[in-house]
Amino acid sequence: MNIILLGPPGAGKGTQAQRLVERHGMRQLSTGDMLRAAVKAETPVGLQAKAVMERGELVSDEIVSALIGEELDAMGADVGAIFDGYPRTEAQAGSLDSILAARGRSLDHVIELAVDEDALVERITGRYTCASCGKGYHDTFEQPRVPGTCDKCGSTEFKRRPDDNEETVRTRMAEYRAKTAPILPGYEARGLVSRVDGMADMDDVTAAIERLIAD
C-alpha cells in the first residue's frame, strides 16, 4: 500500500502518519523530517536547505525527490509507504510516479486532509514533539498523559521547530496554495483522491482514514 497524505502545514499529516505506522507497520516518509535531519547533521543538502526552510519556502524538487528514492530503497519492498509532505509540486508528483514505478510500486490513495486555514496558525504555533522518539503533541489539543513525560517513550525532553512561528506559517500556507494544491486535480482525474475532514477530532480523522484504506 502506498498512500499520500496531502494538506497544508498543520493539517494533521504527521499525526495521522504516526498512527498508520503504529497500526499497520507502514513506514512514514516525511521529507520535512529527512531535511531536518540533514540540517542537524550539516550535510551538503542540509546546508543548502536550512535557510530556505527557515523562510518557509520550498526546497528544490531534485533534493527532495532524491531523498525519497533513497528512503524507499532502504526499506523492504513489501512495506507500505505513507508519503507525508511529499509531493508538494507538480514536478515532484511526476517524479514520484517514476520513483514508484521503478520499484514496482504504485499509488493506492491520495488522502486530502481538508482544514480551515484559520485553525492552522494555532495548530502550528502550539505544536511540539518528543526530542527522543518524535511523537507529536500540542499545547492545547494533545498533551502527554503525564505532564512533561512522553506517552510513547517516557522522555522528558521536547522540542519545537524554528519554522513554527506565525510569519513563516503564512509563507508556508501561500506555498501550499500556489504550488501544492494544484497537484490535486491530476490525482482526482486518476480517481485516487479521498477527502477527509481534517477539522474533526484526531480520532475521528483516524477512523475516516482507516475506513477508506480498508476498502
Q: Which residues bind Zn ion (CB under 5 A)?
A: 130, 132-133, 135, 150, 152-153, 155
Closest CA to 198 of 5, 28, 2: 5
Q: Is 32 a residue that touches ligand ADP (CB under 6 A)?
A: yes
Residue 7 near which of ligand ADP, Zn ion, none (CB within 5-8 Å, type-dependent): ligand ADP
Element housing 6 (H / E) = strand 2-6
> To the nearest whole angstrom, how small is the minimum distance from the Cβ of residue 124 to ligand ADP?
6
Whose CA is closest to 96, among 80, 107, 82? 107
Query: Quick one: 29 or 130, whose CB is closer to Zn ion?
Result: 130
Q: How far apart are CA 191 and CA 78, in angstroms?
A: 24
209 binds ligand ADP (CB under 6 A): no
In the structure grid, which three cell numbers stand for residue 94, read together? 511526476
Q: Helices (H), strands (E): how many in the chain?
A: 9, 8
- E-state strands within 36-187: 81-84, 109-114, 127-130, 136-138, 158-159
The residue among 91 and 128 lying less far from Zn ion, judged by its C-beta, is 128
SS3 146: strand
Q: Please check whether residue 129 is in contact with residue 212, taking contact to mean a CB–CB distance below 8 angstroms.
A: no
User: How many chain residues touch ligand ADP (CB under 6 A)?
Assistant: 34
Instruction: Please state, in angstroms and rounded to a whole number, the distance separating the CA atoms of residues 28 and 16.
Output: 10
- If one asks whether residue 64 binds ligand ADP (CB under 6 A), the answer comes out as yes
Q: Which residues are catalytic?
A: 13, 88, 127, 161, 172
* Out of 14, 27, 38, 45, the residue judged to bind ligand ADP by CB under 6 A: 14
Per CB under 6 A, the segment of 19-27, 57-65, 74-82, 100-108 that binds ligand ADP is 57-65
d(CA 215, CA 211): 7
Q: Does 56 bind ligand ADP (CB under 6 A)?
A: yes
Is there binding between residue 151 and ligand ADP (CB under 6 A)? no
Does residue 80 touch ligand ADP according to CB under 6 A? no
For residues 128 and 199, which CB has a smaller minimum distance to Zn ion in the complex? 128
Give the separation between CA 52 and CA 177, rounded to whole angstroms.
18
List of residues contacting ligand ADP (CB under 6 A): 7, 9-15, 31-32, 35, 52-53, 56-59, 64, 85-86, 88, 92, 123, 126-127, 136-138, 141-142, 172, 201-202, 205
